[in-house]
Amino acid sequence: MMTGGEKIAFRMQIHPGQRAAYEARHDAIWPDLVAALHDAGISDYSIFLHEETLSLFAVMRRARDHRMDQLPQREVMQLWWRHMADIMQTDATGAPVVEPLPLLFHLD
């Protein structure tokens, strides 16, 4: 799917006791949300959990001409954020609090 582009990573945070809920909701991710992510140029998206701190580490590829900045305006994204707000840290807009992570090493 992707020609060119970049890999990015970021950190988010779930609330204590919410691992199972977070995992279950992602196991049942909405097809409309998946389509919106792909349409925005996102692929190869993985989220890892650091159990001790409950930090989520996300890694994704995004196309050179990605449209991630348009995702917050999509209704399905707003609905997903509301669906997830009770189990993770969010900001005043309802979006997950995201901390970008700089790339320090890469090996193909």
- Residue 106 annotated in active site: no
Which residue among 26, 38, 50, 83 is the active-site one? 26
CA-to-CA dists, residue 55 to 25, 47, 70, 76, angstroms: 17, 10, 25, 24
Tell how strand 99-101 and strand 6-13 pair up. Answer: antiparallel
Using the CB atoms, write b or e for 5-34: b if 16+ within 10 Å: beebebbbbbeeebeeebeeeeeeeeeebe
Catalytic residues: 26
